[in-house]
């Protein structure tokens, strides 16, 4: 919801003098986006308001109306001067609209672009005021989800938070069920980039990133292709070279990819107070070397895998994803200069992680390694190939639609590209299995020696126990190690496809658990000695097939 007064005749277009919508007279257009237009309007008493109006071709879309209704629902819960409050709304008429308080001030990105970074008391005032706004919306059980310079207006130096178009209630699960999480790269927390649940921490990380922009005048994670920016976010590669050196340790810690290493908002504000009084912001947070400024063209950079490095976050079994970048109601702010408005989000974001099913499959793989190691290794290779092929196909389609919008050629292009994805996935599988295999073998021999130290005797690396340990560590390295992001995304896509609902997921998780128990029982009944290749016959791992005997 872009409600600021944009300076310059090129940014404003006057509405016809007799244009009315309900009791409101439209005066000037303030901003527009893919779904709607924001006007400066006058109410019946002549007071200025901001009126957000759905575009005519969108007005009959039930989903657009529901989203507008959601924004009204969210804003009605908040009563704070640092938030642009809703005044009126017509959600059922032929031209749905929402009326909010008009903020006659520029956005933070405009202020910084024209006047330079905020320093000293100005930065403290901004950071403290915006923290108060975030506290206020969280007290109303609302999460903004898109804190960034373009969504913060400055009215007499005080920040006012706007644009709740993608905000949601903290206890509302409908957003996560849609499979879409929207926001702006560079201002989305690493947890959300990884596909974790949206929480209040999402807003606080965006608050810290917005503070870094205010203090430096440049986006803290730079510009460029979405994959590059998201990779910087995940790895904590914030560019703070334009920030006062006294603030660098504090903001660097606040933007850490590990939530456990981030100071809370009160600690950051206290650091800003010390900074404004002329002292160092903190003396306990270790300074990290700032990332050199990026003056080279980044549009041609092609990272090997934007999600390669495993995030040090406490939530396991999450998947990275490509968020939707477009502010549906306003033009991209200066922090997103040079970005084309995407047309599609990533349908994998926000979907259930199916952690129970994944743990069950892990247990099956470990039990199979202890009973039939060769079969387990072949199964891991095959699964990796299929999962990586699935991920490459889906990600290619997501990026295509993100850049160009949904087209009729999407499916034919995906079909033509399928053989290429198969070949690349096979090569990636072979390359990525080497490290897990090495770690697994080392773990097997280490476990065998450890068992000798405890129980005596000679090392038996071919026993079920050491093999199970090796299988477990090899699987974890394959999942979180180099190149594991593609395996994670593809695996979750496949598992979600076969478990469309929570009941199906529970059944599959239980079936996997029972299969693991059955394999463990077989290993116990055979003296914990593995069968290196399954044979038919009495006591074999598999029933007789085509008369083959071992």
**Separation of alpha carbons 68 and 184, rounded Å:** 20
Q: Which of 428, 427, 436, 517 is nearest to 475 (CA)?
A: 436
d(CA 85, CA 50): 10
Cα–Cα distance measured from residue 465 to residue 520, given in angstroms and rounded to the nearest whole number: 10
Rounded to a whole number of angstroms, the distance between the first and last alpha carbons of the chain is 71
Closest CA to 169 of 38, 90, 33, 72: 72
CB 172 within 8 Å of CB 8 = no
Site of tokens 């107070």:
273
Token readout for 100 is: 């909010």
Between CA 194 and CA 313 the distance in angstroms is 9
Closest among 296, 61, 310 to 193, alpha carbons compared: 310
* Helices vs. strands in the chain: H and E counts, helices first: 15, 11
- Neighbouring C-alpha atoms within 13 Å toward the C-beta of 527: 4
Candidates 146, 203, 334, 336; catalytic one: 146
Residue 88: strand pairing partners: 99
Report the C-alpha gap between 510 and 517 in whole angstroms.
11
Residues 6+ apart with CB under 8 A from 532: 372, 373, 374
Q: Specify whether the CB–CB gap between 50 and 41 falls below 8 A.
A: yes
Proportion of the chain in helix, strand, coil states, percent, rounded to 5? 45, 10, 45
**CA atoms 166, 172, 175, 181: torsion sign:** positive
The residue with tokens 């609302």 is 142
Instruction: Please give the backbone phi and psi of residue 11, each rounded to the nearest 5 degrees, phi first.
Output: -95, -15
**Catalytic site residue 266?**
no
Strand partners, 168: 143
Q: How far is CA 283 from CA 286, 332, 500, in A?
A: 8, 37, 51
Residue positions annotated with a catalytic role: 146
């Amino acid at each position: 919801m872009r409600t600021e007064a944009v300076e310059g005749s090129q940014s404003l277009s006057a509405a016809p003098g007799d244009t009315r919508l309900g009791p409101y007279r439209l005066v000037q257009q303030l901003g527009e986006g893919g779904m709607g237009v924001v006007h400066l309007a006058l109410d019946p008493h002549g007071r200025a308001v901001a009126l957000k109006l759905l575009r005519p071709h969108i007005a009959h879309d039930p989903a657009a109306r529901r989203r507008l209704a959601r924004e009204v629902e969210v804003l009605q819960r908040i009563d704070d001067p640092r938030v642009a409050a809703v005044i009126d709304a017509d959600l059922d008429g032929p031209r749905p609209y929402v009326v909010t308080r008009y903020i006659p001030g520029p956005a933070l990105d405009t202020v910084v672009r024209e006047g330079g970074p905020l320093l000293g008391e100005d930065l403290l005032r901004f950071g403290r005021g915006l923290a108060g706004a975030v506290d206020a919306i969280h007290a109303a059980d609302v999460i903004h989800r898109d804190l960034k310079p373009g969504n913060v207006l400055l009215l007499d130096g005080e920040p006012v938070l706007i644009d709740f178009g993608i905000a949601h209630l903290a206890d509302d699960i409908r957003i996560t069920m849609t499979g879409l999480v929207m926001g702006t790269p560079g201002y989305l927390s690493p947890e959300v980039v990884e596909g974790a649940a949206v929480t209040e921490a999402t807003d606080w990380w965006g608050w810290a990133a917005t503070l870094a922009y205010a203090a430096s005048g440049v986006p803290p994670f730079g510009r460029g292709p979405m994959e590059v920016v998201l990779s910087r976010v995940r790895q904590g590669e914030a560019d703070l070279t334009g920030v006062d050196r006294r603030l660098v340790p504090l903001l660097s810690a606040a933007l850490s990819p590990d939530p456990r290493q981030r100071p809370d908002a009160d600690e950051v504000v206290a650091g800003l107070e010390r900074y404004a009084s002329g002292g160092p912001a903190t003396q306990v947070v270790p300074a990290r070397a700032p990332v050199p400024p990026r003056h080279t063209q980044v549009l041609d950079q092609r990272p090997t895998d934007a999600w390669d490095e495993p995030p040090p976050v406490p939530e396991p079994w999450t998947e990275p994803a490509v968020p939707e970048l477009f502010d549906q109601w306003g033009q991209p702010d200066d922090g997103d200069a040079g970005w084309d408005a995407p047309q599609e989000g990533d349908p994998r974001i926000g979907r259930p992680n199916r952690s129970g099913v994944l743990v069950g499959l892990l247990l099956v793989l470990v039990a199979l390694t202890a009973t039939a190691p060769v079969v387990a290794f072949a199964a891991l290779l095959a699964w990796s190939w299929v999962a990586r092929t699935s991920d490459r196909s889906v990600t290619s389609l997501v990026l295509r639609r993100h850049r160009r919008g949904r087209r009729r050629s999407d499916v034919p292009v995906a079909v033509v590209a399928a053989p290429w994805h198969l070949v690349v996935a096979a090569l990636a599988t072979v390359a990525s299995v080497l490290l897990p295999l090495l770690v697994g073998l080392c773990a097997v021999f280490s476990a065998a020696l450890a068992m000798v130290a405890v129980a005596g005797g000679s090392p038996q690396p071919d026993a079920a126990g050491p093999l199970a340990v090796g299988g477990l560590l090899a699987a974890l390295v394959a999942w979180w190690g180099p190149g594991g992001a593609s395996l994670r995304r593809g695996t979750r896509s496949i598992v979600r496809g076969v478990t469309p609902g929570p009941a199906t997921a529970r059944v599959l998780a239980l079936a996997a658990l029972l299969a693991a128990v059955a394999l463990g029982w077989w290993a116990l009944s055979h003296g914990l000695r593995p069968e290196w290749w399954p044979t038919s016959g009495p006591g074999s791992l598999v029933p007789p097939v085509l008369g083959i005997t071992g």
